[in-house]
Amino acid sequence: MACAMLEIVDLGKSFGGIVAVRDMSFTVERGEIVSLIGPNGAGKTTCLNLISGFYRPDSGKVLLDGLEVTGEKPFRMAQRRVVRTFQKTNVLKNLTVRDNVLAAHYLSGREPLWRTFFVARARARVERDIGDSVDGILSLVGLEARRGIEAGALSCGELRLLEVALALGAKPRLLMLDEPAAGLNTHEAEALAALLRRVRAERVEALLLVEHNMALVMSVSDRVVVMNTGEKLAEGTPEAVRNNPAVRFAYLGQVV
């Protein structure tokens, strides 16, 4: 297959009179880690919302493996193995760490509604497999020691790890992370970078990050897409983008 795993074409979205995203186009190829960066308010999260179905685009297309999936509902996109995380901690605060990741395994355990009431031997095996998968994910992100703790009691760094673990529970092919390094210190961000590389190697086919932490972006990305005021400003390898004068200008000489 020659087509990209994810391709967005001329995506556009306005809220009231305000244009949040305009003519956005980029691709994510299989095996890649692509980062979407830009100043605050550039429309990065809106893009993520448009791709994952939480917003309907006003114009443009979203293509998954060449198939048009524009405007499909979020749960449908998740069923297509496109899973995203949310900014500002969105985990199931009142459930334990383990139950969070277990909840994310919904698709693995899906069965017709009427089967809910019948005890079946095959079911027990499914539940066991899910349990093993949960344990595997928890040890991958490094939270197995905290499995019985209520998610609301975790530290900031642990919450970020839980978000990734949760998303992995849904067995994504394309994993989209919204500011996974928010609030992390340098050490934690480096650990996250290593985790993301492992995730790309072992668990998913591609990653799309929305991120502000430049060190993380530069160290982990294969390609970077820069947005400003709703439009694409630049695109290329991390080095190319770092040296792009328009990008530097947009960031007003900050960062990097």
Partner 1 sequence: MELFAQFLANGLVSGTFYALSALGLTLVFGLMRLVNFAHGDLYMVGGLLGWAATSRLGLGFFSALALVILVLAAAGWLIDRFCIARLRDQGEEPGILFTIGLSIFLANTALLVVGSTPHQVPAPVPNEPLLLGPVVVTKARLFAVAVCAATITLAHLMIQNTRLGKAMRATFQDPLAARLAGINTDRIYASTFALGAALAGTAGMLLGSIYVAQATIGGLVSLKAFVVVILGGMGSFAGAILGGLLLGVAESLWGGYVSTGTVDIIGFLLVILILLVRPYGLFSRRAERA
Partner 2 sequence: MKRIEGRALLAFVAAGALFALAVGDEYLLHLCVLVMVYAILATSLNLIIGYVGEFPLGHVAFFGIGAYAAALLSVKAGYPAWATLPAAAFLAAIAGFGIGAITLRLQGPFFVIVTLAFAEVLRLIAGNWVSFTNGPMGIAGIPHPAIIDLGGFFSGKRGYALLGLTLAAVSLFAAYRFVYSNAGRAAVTIRENRYVAQSVGIQPWRYALFAFVIAASMAGLAGAFYAHYLSFVGPEVFGFSFTASMIIMVLLGGKGTLTGPVIGAVAVTVLEEYLRETKELRLTLFGLAVMGVVLFAPTGVVGALHRRLARGG
Scanning residues 93 to 152, which ones bind partner 1 (CB under 8 A)?
none
Query: Per the structure block, which two tokens stand in for 243?
Result: 């040296």
Interaction partner, residue 107 (partner 2, partner 1, none; CB < 5-8 Å by kind) = partner 2
> CA-to-CA distance for 79 and 65, rounded, in angstroms?
14
In the complex with partner 2, which residue's Cβ is closer, 34 or 104?
A: 104
Q: What is the DSSP letter of 110?
A: -
In the complex with partner 2, which residue's Cβ is closer, 98 or 200?
A: 98
In the complex with partner 2, which residue's Cβ is closer, 53 or 157?
A: 53
> CA-to-CA distance for 256 and 30, rounded, in angstroms?
27
In the complex with partner 1, which residue's Cβ is closer, 54 or 86?
A: 54
Q: What is the Cα 163 distance to its own chain's centre?
A: 9
Count Cβ atoms within 10 A of the Cβ of residue 89 and give its class: 0-12 exposed, 13-18 middle, 19 or more buried: middle
H or E stretch covering 68: strand 67-68
Look at the chain and count its residues.
Answer: 256
Q: Which stretch binds partner 1 (CB under 8 A): 51-59, 110-118, 121-129, 145-153?
A: 51-59
In the complex with partner 2, which residue's Cβ is closer, 11 or 78?
A: 78
Min dist CB 212 to partner 1, Å, is: 25
Min dist CB 32 to partner 2, Å, is: 21
Applying CB under 8 A, the residues found at the interface with partner 2 are 52, 54, 73-75, 78-79, 83-86, 90-95, 102-107, 109-111, 113, 116-119, 148, 166-167, 169-170
Min dist CB 116 to partner 2, Å, is: 4
Interaction partner, residue 94 (partner 2, partner 1, none; CB < 5-8 Å by kind) = partner 2
Q: Does 55 bind partner 1 (CB under 8 A)?
A: yes
CA-only gyration radius of the chain, Å: 19
- Three-state SS for 182? coil
Q: What is the DSSP letter of 82?
A: E
Q: Does 76 bind partner 1 (CB under 8 A)?
A: no
Among positions 56, 93, 110, 115, the unique one binding partner 1 when judged by CB under 8 A: 56
Query: Per the structure block, which two tokens stand in for 247?
Result: 């990008």
Q: Does 54 bind partner 1 (CB under 8 A)?
A: yes
H or E stretch covering 8: strand 6-15
Interaction partner, residue 56 (partner 2, partner 1, none; CB < 5-8 Å by kind) = partner 1
For residues 148 and 96, the answer to whether their CB atoms sit within 8 Å is yes
H or E stretch covering 188: helix 186-202
In the complex with partner 1, which residue's Cβ is closer, 69 or 191?
A: 69
Min dist CB 113 to partner 2, Å, is: 6
Question: What does the angle CA 227 – CA 231 – CA 233 come to, to the nearest 5 degrees?
Answer: 55
Q: Which residues of the chain form contacts with partner 1 (CB under 8 A)?
A: 54-56
